[in-house]
Chains A and B, each alone.
Chain A
Amino acid sequence: MPRVTLSDVSLSYGEREVLRGISVDLTEHRIGIVGANGSGKSTLARLVNGLVRPSAGTVTVDGLDVARHTRQVRAKVGFLFSDADSQIVMPTVREDLEFSLRGRGLAAVDVASRVDRALVDFGLADHADHPCYLLSGGQKQQLALAAVLLLDPQIIVADEPTTLLDLRNQRRFAQLLAELSQQVLMVSHHVELLTGFDRVLVIDDGRVVADDTPQVAVAAYRRLMGEVVR
């Protein structure tokens, strides 16, 4: 598995401190990140892809400093947003998948065959020429994942990818992510989706307050949220 390292990372927007001195070394296959709204967990996820830059400290992916080698890092790290709608950038399903391979110097036949395979793998073959806005929420998130995987990333960072899905699609999509051979970093509110994960971090007020197996970390998160454990 690749190694994502945060060394004493802090980040603030003006007066507001979002992350306060986080140091973690992430080498497990499936890593969950939970936390309340505004805890800084989404910001943490964005750091790994260089979508935001730390005010202090460094983030490295396989030894590459994200701030200095952003391009190489982004080639390794695929990013899934919670709103698939903002991630799908092209008018039709096929075009959006083709977009992933844009500017990589691939021959048109190679692009077509890889896109065709992805369409079949993700159950989107019947919708290849449909406008993306006609897809269901679950299909949109499938398309977003297919588009990310076409880039051959080694790490998938997913920022609350199941928030807009119904219960059945939440489980189905989390299952899909958990079965990937890539390293998966999933930020989620839905703690029950993280049970099969290897490690779960709990973020609160910009700090890592628990870092353990899902059972232990999720229990700590529930206590933090003041939830009555039945």
Chain B
Amino acid sequence: MPTDASAAVSDTLAQDNRARDMAQVAVFAALIAALTLVPGVPLIGSSVPFTLQTLGVTLAGAVLGPRKGALAVLVYLAMIAVGLPVASGYKGGLGVLTGPTGGYLVGFVLAAAVVGFLSRLVLRRAQGAKATGGLLLACLAGIPVVYAVGVPWLAAFAGMPFGRALQVGALVFLIGDVIKAAIAAVVTSAVARALPQLFR
């Protein structure tokens, strides 16, 4: 029964690939959690404390691609939902997702997908250091996606005018988010050189 046997082989290979994908998605969800928990100060050398959560989200998209990247963010959100204290400020539970900043978390899923799609496009055309510029644009593209969901959500939740929400919910984070996008681009470009087989 040659067809049965070859079906069994491709079945096993598919199972092995699923295991590998699951592991990557899980590790990057954990990476987003870890980057949210460690204070961002030592990485940047700035004195303003902020979390590296968006760095983790952007990296998930850029390194894993749109599908696995968005899944990693979803798994991270599920970890918050089941009550683990892995949201910013060691918060956890469903309260975080339904709270005033829940929109940003939803926006992260879309951002990872957009960043992942664009990064794959860049890496297919350019290699090595040349890709870094394109990756920077891809990573920056995640920022408006996050704000597009997060800011209206904040405005609606807190009952504040949209302009005020834009001020407290986007503009104060903009510089930090641009820096983090730049870091994500540099890291992704370095990882693509170190582990090229991952991006094929």
- Chain A residues engaging chain B, CB cutoff 8 angstroms: 50, 67-71
Which residues 1-25 of B have a CB within 8 angstroms of A?
Answer: 5, 8-9, 11-12
Q: List 12 A-B contacts (CB under 8 A).
A: A50-B12, A67-B9, A68-B5, A68-B8, A68-B9, A69-B8, A70-B8, A70-B9, A70-B12, A71-B8, A71-B11, A71-B12
Give the shortest distance, in Å, between B196 (CB) and chain A (any CB): 12
Closest B residue to A67 using CB positions: B9
| Residues of B contacting A71 in the complex (Cβ-Cβ under 8 angstroms) | 8, 11-12
Give the shortest distance, in Å, between B57 (CB) and chain A (any CB): 23
| Residues of A contacting B8 in the complex (Cβ-Cβ under 8 angstroms) | 68-71
Chain B: interface residue count, which band?
A: under 10
Query: How would you classify the secondary structure of chain B's contact residues: helix, strand, loop or mixed?
Result: helix
The answer for the CA separation of A71 and B11 in the assembled complex, in Å, is 9
- Most chain B Cβ neighbours within 10 Å, of A67, A68, A69: A68
Give the shortest distance, in Å, between B97 (CB) and chain A (any CB): 21
The answer for the CA separation of A60 and B12 in the assembled complex, in Å, is 16
| Residues of B contacting A70 in the complex (Cβ-Cβ under 8 angstroms) | 8-9, 12
- Most chain B Cβ neighbours within 10 Å, of A67, A70, A71: A70
Give the shortest distance, in Å, between A66 (CB) and chain B (any CB): 10
Give the shortest distance, in Å, between B38 (CB) and chain A (any CB): 16
Give the shortest distance, in Å, between A87 (CB) and chain B (any CB): 12
| Residues of B contacting A50 in the complex (Cβ-Cβ under 8 angstroms) | 12
Rank and list the top 9 A-B pairs by shortest CB-CB distance, nearest first. A70-B12, A68-B5, A68-B9, A71-B12, A68-B8, A67-B9, A69-B8, A71-B8, A50-B12
